[in-house]
Structure 1
């Protein structure tokens, strides 16, 4: 993302986090590094965050030498993390008091798409703020959807991830059912691929898993997926929405974490089902 912003001719300021090599590469390409988020905010018109979730976003904004200490009028914070809408709404209030604003723009697609500037983003912003940030988002996003006011992007992403992780959980259980009942997995996959049950998620997971047992087709961490479903269910509780599928999907992911896949991918739900049911 940062590389593509630089490639688009924008000035880029960064704060180092975990991977020093990436910061060094950006600095060599022309970025300027600051040591604190306060300094970053003081020198930037648009500040882009892309971290794990709301606790990390809140820490970057509210901690000592955080963004809020350097925010001034007309600056915009763009949160590309998958964050909790209730937290985002409070952050928007804090920024508004300073004359600044929040844009929520969570991302979808893969790390390879990020490198190529082909991500998808779902944006929550006022019309004016969207017009200001859209040219920057275009540097690393192929498809940009303005979903509505602040918070709409994060709400959309959580519902989107509920569908994505729900597909993955169903596919994993279905493959286990095939193994338990003697249905040939390749033939089953052919049936799905030719009918209405086919999906992009199925095609990410099934071919590699059947060919070699490789569950990395859906390259998304199980821990982050469980976090997103936790956010989704808390969001639904505030409505409240009657339905138990969100918690069922979250439970499937928690089972995976508890069975040793805390560092695994969502596709490893296939292995989780194997362990739970004693089939391969």
Structure 2
């Protein structure tokens, strides 16, 4: 018999993940969410709804979290109506992007309550979440990871075990550092090219199909060339959060992270200008605008 799954965070990524879990036969309970359309869709597919994390934990053996970051995860676990208050053995699978220091501290605290925590952050897009083809990086004790794996396989096309608890979140920060670094590089390169009279189409003709092409490049440039706002749905505010976590992680390790600081500043400038809810490829518009270039469709 399959374990009962609780799911918290049915947003852009979580909706597709939860859809795959319930459609593949797992008993599913979801926490109420501001995106009522996602909750209602999942209920039509057979899921139940809980009114609080505590109520959800009471109905679950495994709880999957897919929320913004460490503060949200900690709030869901602690408190009178938090997951830990259920006072029962649980496996918590944290698919959020979090600070590894918070993750390892939480895991140690929860172990005293017979609750296992694995960190299983994600890569790819909401489209992949819906298709069940996400990449997952998972850290934790071997027994807990083995227990989590069948649930992860419901929405993942590739699962990479990274080591002890916290290493999944550390790898996710590195993955997003590389991705957001590319976003900042593409944006500045396009701006310099435009100043020199080189169009985005010419830039793309050189890069696409060459050694510097990749899936991230392709979704980024689907917006740049086609103005497809849905091509890469990851907000600048979330990008800034992730590279800020990386800066904190690097500081805790006592290492210099100068490229990370430069990448972070690109996103911080856009978010400070009130553009936090724009998507990552739109950074190219803001970098162009800051340098006096007109941007199609924007003031």
Which TM-score band applies after superposition, normalised by the shorter structure? Answer: over 0.9
- CA distance change for structure 1 residues 125 and 189 in 2, over 3 Å: closer, same or farther? same
Q: 2:43 aligns with which of 27, 34, 40?
A: 27
Q: 2:81 aligns with which of 39, 61, 65?
A: 65
What is the correspondence of 1:96-175 to structure 2 with a 5 Å cutoff?
96-175=111-190
Q: 2:276 aligns with which of 252, 262, 270?
A: 262
TM-score (norm 2): 0.89
Cross-structure match for 2:235: 221
Asked if the contact 2:221/2:281 (under 8 Å) is kept, the reply is no
Paired residue secondary structure (2:63):
strand
Q: Distance in 1 between matches of 2:227 and 2:23?
A: 38
- CA distance change for structure 1 residues 259 and 61 in 2, over 3 Å: closer, same or farther? same
Paired residue secondary structure (1:279):
coil
Asked if the contact 1:53/1:84 (under 8 Å) is kept, the reply is yes
Q: 2:195 aligns with which of 160, 170, 180?
A: 180
Residue 134 of structure 1: how far off its partner (Å): 0.5
Cross-structure match for 2:5: none
Cross-structure match for 2:205: 190
Q: 1:52 aligns with which of 63, 68, 72?
A: 68
Question: What RMSD in Å do the two structures reach over aligned CA positions?
Answer: 1.5
Stretch deviating more after TM superposition (168-177 or 84-93): 84-93
- CA distance change for structure 1 residues 7 and 194 in 2, over 3 Å: closer, same or farther? closer
Cross-structure match for 2:7: none
Which ranges in structure 1 are unaligned for 5 or more consecutive residues? none
1:33-55 superposed Cα distances (whole Å, 9 cap, x missing partner): 22221122122110111101111
Residue 21 of structure 1: how far off its partner (Å): 2.5
Cross-structure match for 2:245: 231
Residue 185 of structure 1: how far off its partner (Å): 2.9
Residue 213 of structure 1: how far off its partner (Å): 4.2
Count of matched residue positions in the alignment of Structure 1 and Structure 2: 278
Cross-structure match for 1:92: 107
Q: Distance in 2 between matches of 1:71 and 1:82?
A: 26
Q: Distance in 1 between matches of 2:230 and 2:280?
A: 8
Cross-structure match for 1:205: 220
- CA distance change for structure 1 residues 112 and 213 in 2, over 3 Å: closer, same or farther? closer
Q: 1:5 aligns with which of 21, 27, 32?
A: 21
Residue 215 of structure 1: how far off its partner (Å): 5.7
Cross-structure match for 2:11: none
> Following TM superposition, where does structure 1 have runs of at least 4 consecutive aligned residues deviating by more than 6 angstroms?
none
Cross-structure match for 2:96: 81
Asked if the contact 1:261/1:268 (under 8 Å) is kept, the reply is no
- CA distance change for structure 1 residues 30 and 279 in 2, over 3 Å: closer, same or farther? same
Residue 9 of structure 1: how far off its partner (Å): 1.0
